[in-house]
Structure formats: C-alpha cells, structure tokens
Chains A and B, each alone.
Chain A
Amino acid sequence: MSATTPPIGTTFGSTSLFREALVIAGRTLLHWRAQPGLIAVNLLFPVMILLMMGGLFGGAVAGSTGDYFVYVLPGVLALNMMFGIEATMTALASDANKTVTDRFRSLPISGGAVLLGRVLADLLTSVVELVALSCAGFLLGWRWENGILPALAAYALLLTLRFSMLWLGVFIGIRAGKPEALMGVQILVWPIGFLSTVFIDPRTMPTFLGWIAELNPISAVATSARELFSGRQIEGVSWAATHALPYALISQAVLVAVFAALGVRAYRRLGQ
C-alpha cells in the first residue's frame, strides 16, 4: 500500500440511516447518467401507450379521440405507477444475483438504508415519469380542470400507489433472487393492469367483470385521480367505485403494511 493509505483498522466518519439511503438512491442517478437511452425509453413508453390507446381506440370508446385522452390520461398515470413495480423487482433481484446486496449487507450501514434508498430512488423516478406523461397530456388537450391543489392531491395519490407497489416489488424482487425468476410476475402485471377501469368505463363491461375491475386498487386510484383532476364525480357499479378515494387509501395502506413487513423480513433473512 502507498504511504498515504490510511492504516489498517481506520474508521471513517459516522453516518445516518437517511444519509446512507440518499447515497444508495444517488446510485440510481448515476445509472441515469450512464444509460440515458434507457431513461428516454422508460419515459417514452407510457406516452406511447397513451398515444396508442387514445389514437386507436379513442373514437370507438368515447366518440372522439380528444375526449378519450381526457378520460384515459389519469388512468395511464395510475397504470404507469403500477408498472413501476417491474423496475423495483428487477433492480433488487439483479443486485441479489450479482451479490451487490451481499456487499451492502457486509458494510457497517443500517439494513434499512438499502431498502429506503431504493424507495427514494423509485419515487424520484416516478415523479419524473408523471411530469413527462402530464406534459404529453397537456399537448394532447388534457387540463387540470379542477385547479392546482386538487391536481397536486391527485399526483400525491398516484405516488402513494407507486409507494405501495414498490413494497410489493421489494418483496418479490428479494424473494426471486435473480431477474430471470421474475418472468412470470412480469407477464401477470399486464392483465392485472388492464383488468381495471384505466381504459374502459366499468359500466360498459359485463356486471361481474366491472365489479372485479372496480375492486382493483389501480381502478380506485385512476377514478380518484379523474375526480380530482376534473372535479366531476365518476359513477361506478360497486362501493369500491363510489368510494374510490377511501378505498384507494385503505387498499394501499394494507398493501404497504403487509409487503413492507414481508419485504424487510425477506431482506433480513436473505440466504438463511
């Protein structure tokens, strides 16, 4: 070792859970810088879904493409928050597979920092995605008809959906242990996302299917976001739809309570 190397056993400054989490979240920003193309694709994908669904089906579903964009955009925002689960799952499974998780766990840092860092990074990514998708919506004629504060409340609600999905992703990603094992879950994300009120008014579905679609927590968030953005009450066929906001908050609180506990437990028990 060179003369300037600290002697064996040197300890460095103390650190805190939040600072450690920020460092780990900062790693995601470095990934953005290293892979700008990937970030661009991630931002453009939901815009593409919006354009595709609105352009192809808007006229048939809502009578006009413009009206459908206004209907579907809050739904696509919610769907995008749900699809974020894939990034969380893949990041954790990939770290575990490449033993980066072992490196983190063998460092003198808080166990919670790794998961908190992932949460912060994914929420930051989600904010950027929401901004990009909303800008696309504005260009297509969508507006915050109900004012700024309800719109901000809608975005906060969308982020709570991302937050709850994130913990589900943490749990699945850790348990999977390698990205290849996530294939089945990744396939399931699509039908779960589509069996909702994101794209279609549930009243146009067969009653039983409409009822199931409204029970989907993504539907509750999409409906609440529509109400908050537009200021209009959205009708539905079940209690979950007519009380979308409380149902959204309750279902997400349950998801967070269950999967945050399971995710932290799975992280602590890695390899046991």
Chain B
Amino acid sequence: MAEPEVLIEARGVRKHFRGAEAPALDGVDIIVEAGRICALLGTNGAGKTTMIRILTTLLTPDEGQVKVAGYDIATHPGQVRASIGLVGQYAALDEILTGRQNLELFSKLAGMRRAEARRHAARLLETAGLGEVGDRVVSKLSGGLRRRMDLATSLITTPRVLFVDEPTTGVDPHARRDLWARLREMADQGVAILLTTQYLEEADALADDVVILKAGSVIARGTTADLKQLVGEPKWELREPTLEDVYLHLHATSEEVISR
C-alpha cells in the first residue's frame, strides 16, 4: 500500500517577535497527511495562529523547514499559495460587496476570466448551500453565514491543503455542525486540513490527529484515541475520557508525549 502523501511538513519552526520576552514558537514540528484533519490546540497565546500564518506564507519563520503541498514556503511561496485555502479567525471578505461579488473577485484573481469566474462563484455558492444568500451584502449576513461564505471563498483555488483558524468562534451550534460536515467531506476527498480551535468538543468530533501547544512548544501529539489512552487511567471510571480531560491533564503536567 502506498504511503499517504504528507501535505504539511513543518520541522523545528521557531518565531520570536521583536520586543516579546519569549518566542511565539519554539521548535514546533507538525506533520499532516492527505485526507486527515489535524487540530492544533492551545490557550490564547500558545502560538496557534502564528503557526497558521507561517504555513500560509503570511509570516516568515526565524528558523525551521516548512513544506506545504510539497513546496518549501521560503523558496516557492507562489506554489504554496496556489495549493492552499485559508479560513482565518475573522471572515476575510469585502463587506461592502455581496458574497457572489466576493467570490467572483477572488476567482478572477485566481486567474479565471470573467465568465469562468461567474460560473465558478455560482458553483461554489451552490455547493456551500449559499445560493439564496449569494446576492446579499456580506455585512448583512449572520455570523454563521459569513463563516460559510468565507470557507467558500477559501475554496476558490480548489486547495489541496486547508488552514482553518478557529472556524466556529461565535457561530451557532447548527452552523457549527454544518461547517464540521463540510470540513469532513473535504478531508474525505483528500484535502489535508489543519485547524486551530479552542473548542475541545470540536477537535474531538472532527480531528484525526491532535497537536497540543503550550507557550510555543508542543506538549503532546497523537490521534485523539491515542491521547485518550495515554491518560485514560482509572481517573475516569464512570465514562470514557474526553479530549477535554486529556487536554487539561496534559496542560497541567506539560509532559512531552509523542505517541505517533
């Protein structure tokens, strides 16, 4: 059986912002294979967003080797950008325009001609179930619809790798489930997804692999099942440990647990 393709490969990534006392990232390794969802967990300031910004070429690391979709971010940033989609913490849309106009604008920037961009935008709206609200101005959309529109915009380039930074913050439970289903569907089609979240329930429901960051360093990594086993001693007699139990346990002890 062929080895699964590694689409995100970061080794020894270090980033120290000017004026900061401690590095934001201190030798972080992350590997994500095609078709898998990896959740990057950590408290505010743990380095999750910094890692996403480095992987999406928005930020330059001080040290480390980073390859995305097989391309080095330092030497081939253009090819990396052509292979990725980014859903940031805030919907990165032009709020004065409609969702459809946003999709057409970014499709044209991705290299499509006007007619092709129009068709592509319609297709993305239909796929995302946003056809009915596509002609509404973005500023008039609810938080959940805006996130879905943002996700649709990030799929304009049909990415092989998708970065999702806290996708469901401020989103109602129904919209959250919709978004999860959409991400799982994409992973099943072979897209590698790296998502950051503060909702452990989200990581538990969605992620195949989990990396836990604390103060810029990895304190644990593995599949959710592996991690639960590692700390699943008699502490949780009445029920199976949740990822929240694992997270709180590891965060308190800061043990370096490498299970994969």
| Residues in A lying within 8 Å of B, measured CB to CB | 1-2, 4-15, 20, 23-24, 26-27, 30-31, 34-35, 98-100, 102-109, 113, 270-272
Contact = CB atoms under 8 A, between A and B. Distances in A.
Contacts of A100: 92-94
B153 interface: yes
A30 B93 CA distance: 14
Given A100-B93, A271-B53, A109 B109 contact: yes
B92 A103 contact: yes
A11 B111 CA distance: 9
A98 B86 contact: no
Given A8-B159, A10-B158, A99-B89, A30 B101 contact: yes
B127 interface: yes
11 contacts: A2-B123, A2-B126, A6-B158, A98-B92, A99-B88, A102-B86, A105-B57, A106-B86, A108-B110, A109-B109, A272-B59
Interface stretch (B36-44, B77-85, B204-212, B216-224): B77-85
A15 B113 CA distance: 10
A125 B102 CA distance: 21
A243 B203 CA distance: 69
Say whether chain A's binding surface is mostly helix, strand, loop, or mixed: loop
Contacts of B94: 27, 100
A7 B159 CA distance: 9
B153 to A, nearest CB: 7
A106 B84 contact: yes
B40 to A, nearest CB: 17
B98 to A, nearest CB: 8
Interface residues of B, number: 47
Interface in B35-94: 53, 56-60, 78-79, 81-84, 86, 88-90, 92-94
B189 A107 contact: no
A99 to B, nearest CB: 4
B106 A8 contact: no
B105 interface: yes
B90 A99 contact: yes
B143 to A, nearest CB: 14
B58 A105 contact: yes
B232 interface: no
4 A-B pairs with least C-beta separation: A103-B92, A108-B82, A12-B111, A108-B81
B88 A8 contact: no
A20 B127 contact: no
A98 B101 contact: no
Contacts of B86: 102-103, 106
Interface in B134-161: 137, 153, 157-160
A15 B109 contact: yes
B97 interface: yes
Contacts of B83: 9
A7 to B, nearest CB: 7
Residue among B89, B90, B96, B153 with most chain A CB within 10 A: B96
Contacts of B105: 23, 26-27, 30
B109 A20 contact: yes
A35 B96 contact: yes
